[in-house]
């Protein structure tokens, strides 16, 4: 499919104008960053795999009635999505302590949380995506109380559903990050939909049997076997591309 002009280039994806108005093409790169861009690298074949994993998970979520921006996968590295106005908040849902929560609060990684915990971060590379409270979100107009309610309700449903999907393939969903966007219909009515991607780049996934990490922490912490971990998640989900993703196959 012909791509339009480049709209935005992020750390892991590029957005191009789609062929129809109101659509975008999401191109998945192999580039990886961590620690607010301090660490940069390439995870060979990651883009191909994340494109498939995210397609699979977005489709399953749409089947249970979660609205998303996903339309269809175009080729190995591209998917067609609805253009949305991104809400500048990252919603993090945590089931087990890890990462910044463990560091901030001194709770050892792997501790089961008494209940799922939701955190909000303000999307700003300059500021390093700081943790914010609902107060900041509404006071600064990033989202309304109703928007927050809608995002929270969807995020909790996504957590329940994805926890089950991953449990079914022998993987624990430790935590993950979601982004939402606004879509306006012909009557100017606004609807919030799940956007961005869901992949081992923005989920922590541990093998149930061994607690082995199968996500971007392998890259963040120089643990090795990063490509293999992403491939193993794709394989267990049944979405591993038939050709080995060698990074060279950018086309259809
Ligand atoms: N996360 C993300 N993008 C970010 C920050 C976090 O996708 O900019 C994801 C991360 O992969 C993990 C969850 O959100 O699954 C919680 O991340 P945490 O706050 O522990 O931060 P980290 O330790 O990744 O810096």
- Rounded to 5°, the CA angle 53-224-166 comes to 30
CA 63 – ligand 1 centroid, Å: 26
Which atom of ligand 1 lies nearest, measured to the CA of 100? Answer: 20
Q: Are 142 and 134 within 8 A, CB to CB?
A: no
φ, ψ of residue 95 to 5 degrees: the values are -110, -35
Which atom of ligand 1 lies nearest, measured to the CA of 175? Answer: 15
Question: Which residue has the least CA distance to atom 8 on ligand 1?
Answer: 129
For a pocket test of ligand 1, which of 118, 175, 178, 203 has the largest count of ligand atoms closer than 8 A to its C-beta?
Answer: 175
At residue 242, the pLDDT reads 75
CA distances from 83 to 78, 99, 161 (A): 15, 31, 25
CA 203 – ligand 1 centroid, Å: 7
The yes or no reply on domain 6-84+224-237 and CATH 3.10.450.50 is: no
pLDDT digits (tens, 9 = 90+) for 63-119: 999 999 999 999 999 999 999 999 999 999 999 999 999 999 999 999 999 999 999
Architecture of domain 85-207: 2-Layer Sandwich (3.30)
Ligand 1 lining (C-beta closer than 6 Å): 90, 92, 98-101, 129, 175-177, 202-204, 216
Identify the band that residue 3 occupies on the pLDDT scale cut at 50, 70 and 90. Answer: confident
CA 229 – ligand 1 centroid, Å: 17
Q: Are 78 and 25 within 8 A, CB to CB?
A: yes
CA 243 – ligand 1 centroid, Å: 30
For a pocket test of ligand 1, which of 32, 197, 202 has the largest count of ligand atoms closer than 8 A to its C-beta?
Answer: 202
pLDDT digits (tens, 9 = 90+) for 200-228: 999 999 999 999 999 999 999 999 999 99
Percentage of the chain surpassing pLDDT 70?
A: 95
Identify the band that residue 243 occupies on the pLDDT scale cut at 50, 70 and 90. Answer: low
CA distance 213 to 207: 7
At residue 244, the pLDDT reads 55
CA 176 – ligand 1 centroid, Å: 7
Q: Where are the domains of the chain?
A: 6-84+224-237, 85-207
Which atom of ligand 1 lies nearest, measured to the CA of 34? Answer: 25
The residue ranking higher by pLDDT, 246 or 210, is: 210
At residue 252, the pLDDT reads 43
pTM: 0.95
Is the model's pLDDT at 247 over the cut of 90? no
* End-to-end CA, the chain: 8
Question: Which residue has the least CA distance to atom 25 on ligand 1?
Answer: 100
């Amino acid at each position: 499919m012909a791509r339009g002009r480049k709209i935005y280039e992020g750390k892991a994806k590029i957005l191009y104008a789609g062929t129809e108005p109101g659509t975008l093409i999401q191109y998945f790169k192999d580039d990886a960053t961590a620690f607010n861009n301090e660490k940069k690298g390439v995870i060979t074949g990651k883009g191909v795999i994340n494109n498939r994993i995210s397609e699979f998970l977005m489709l399953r979520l749409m089947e249970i009635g979660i609205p998303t921006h996903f339309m269809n996968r175009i080729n190995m590295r591209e998917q067609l999505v609805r253009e949305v106005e991104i809400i500048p908040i990252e919603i993090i849902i945590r089931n087990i302590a890890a990462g910044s929560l463990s560091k901030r609060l001194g709770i050892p990684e792997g501790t089961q949380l008494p209940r799922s915990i939701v955190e909000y971060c303000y999307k700003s590379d300059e500021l390093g995506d700081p943790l914010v409270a609902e107060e900041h979100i509404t006071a600064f107009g990033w989202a309304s109380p109703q928007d927050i309610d809608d995002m929270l309700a969807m995020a909790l449903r996504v957590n329940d559903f994805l926890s089950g999907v991953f449990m079914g393939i022998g993987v624990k969903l430790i935590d993950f990050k979601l982004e939402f966007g606004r879509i306006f219909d012909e009557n100017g009515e606004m609807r919030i939909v799940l956007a961005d991607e869901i992949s081992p780049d923005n989920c922590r996934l541990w093998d149930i049997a061994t607690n082995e990490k199968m996500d971007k922490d392998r890259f963040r912490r120089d643990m090795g076997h990063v490509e293999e971990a992403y491939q193993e998640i794709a394989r267990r989900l049944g979405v591993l591309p038939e050709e080995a993703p060698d990074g060279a196959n950018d086309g259809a």
